[in-house]
Amino acid sequence: TLRKLFKVDAADYMLSLCGSEALRELSSPGKSGSFFYLTNDDRYMIKTMKKSEVKMLLKMLPAYYNHVRAFEDTLVTKFFGLHCVKLAGANQKKVRFVIMGNLFCSHNSIHRRFDLKGSSLGRTTDKPQTEIDQYTTLKDLDLNFIFRLKKQWFQEFQRQVDRDCDFLEQEKIMDYSLLVGVHFRHNGEKLLTEGCMDNDTNTVSTLRLSRGYMDQFLADPNGLSKIKLGTSMPARAELTARKNDCEPQLIGEPTGEYYDVILYFGIIDILQDYDISKRLEHAYKSFQYDPTSISAVDPRQYSRRFKDFIYKAFQEDS
């Protein structure tokens, strides 16, 4: 029923997943221990799941279905299938996996990707500056842009994030992220090789761009109608610079350096409820750190903090 709702053709779906082309395994599992695979056509992502995540998805499925049916532009992960295979052999191990839409399925290269939660503790990449590339998932304290959307799109973005966060809060979900992919329209490869991650505005001043692209988009009525929230959204990214203070700044100071970008984004990791392990994690870390800086907080607080941060990282283009 969900696949029909998401207008997925059954034959194409089977071909993508079960065709002769092999699946591509993505980088090694993260903290969750899950493995990720992409179909050859880039349309679907497959993630192995823990039993607790499967239970959570099945429990929230009726509410999830009602939410995605009511809000066509929802930013929450699109789920297409949930399966379990029992491996042959002595141990008869069960492998559970979910099939989701790939946010970054596009003909545009994704030059930078950010996983944003609104918390600061441990929210930087562990890679040295020189090793950061387009496949590195950067985090809150690595973010060095403010994304500026045209008024109409920003208002729609705000409305939808509010609705999605309300839904997740009602389902007692926390620990989700906004995954953002950034395509730089001009000299993206140069930006990657020369790097602007050190916030040295001199090295990137040649990449500064006007509002021309945005105006061109707005002048083309077909251009507007083709844009879907979170998919191929034109925006301007303003470079930011953090002060070198001891206190971590979630959002740096705007520098006035702008880039024409195309954005892809969605809310991911929506299957963690505020269970006993998360409550214990919160209690334990609260003794050592500022309780507001840690990721494990109750769903209401999580939702409020997430929105506060996202509406600083994304702003209306004046």
CATH of residue 35's domain is 3.30.800.10
Range of the domain at 85: 1-102
Same domain assignment for residues 129 and 255? yes
Please count the structural domains in the chain. Answer: 2
Same domain assignment for residues 183 and 262? yes
> Quick check: 217 pLDDT over 90?
no
Residue 90 lies in a domain: yes
CB atoms within 10 A of CB 4: 9
Same domain assignment for residues 131 and 233? yes
Residue 215 lies in a domain: no
Same domain assignment for residues 237 and 307? yes
Query: End of a domain among 102, 121, 147?
Result: 102
Same domain assignment for residues 124 and 270? yes
Identify which of 191, 159, 168, 92 has the alpha carbon closest to the alpha carbon of residue 310.
159
Query: End of a domain among 54, 83, 102?
Result: 102
Same domain assignment for residues 111 and 95? no
Identify which of 120, 173, 162 has the alpha carbon closest to the alpha carbon of residue 295.
120
Res 200: pLDDT: 41
Query: End of a domain among 73, 102, 131?
Result: 102
CATH of residue 264's domain is 3.30.810.10
CB 164, CB 68: distance < 8 Å: no
Residue 114 lies in a domain: yes
Same domain assignment for residues 311 and 235? yes
Res 250: pLDDT: 74
pTM, entire model: 0.83
Res 202: pLDDT: 39
CB 201, CB 257: distance < 8 Å: yes
Kindly state the helix (H) or strand (E) to which residue 240 belongs, with its residue range. Answer: strand 233-241
Same domain assignment for residues 30 and 131? no
Residue 200 lies in a domain: no
Q: What is the distance between the alpha carbons of residues 76 and 95, in angstroms, rounded to a whole number? A: 24
Q: What is the distance between the alpha carbons of residues 104 and 27, in angstroms, rounded to a whole number? A: 15
* pLDDT tens-place string over residues 164-175: 999 999 999 888
Same domain assignment for residues 14 and 91? yes
* Angular region, 135: left φ>0, alpha ψ -120 to 50, beta rest: alpha
pLDDT band at 158 (very low <50, low <70, confident <90, very high): very high
Q: What percent of the chain has pLDDT over 90?
A: 48
3-class SS string, 26-76: CCCCCCCCCCEEECCCCCEEEEEECHHHHHHHHHHHHHHHHHHHHCCCCCE
Higher-scoring residue by pLDDT: 192, 201: 192
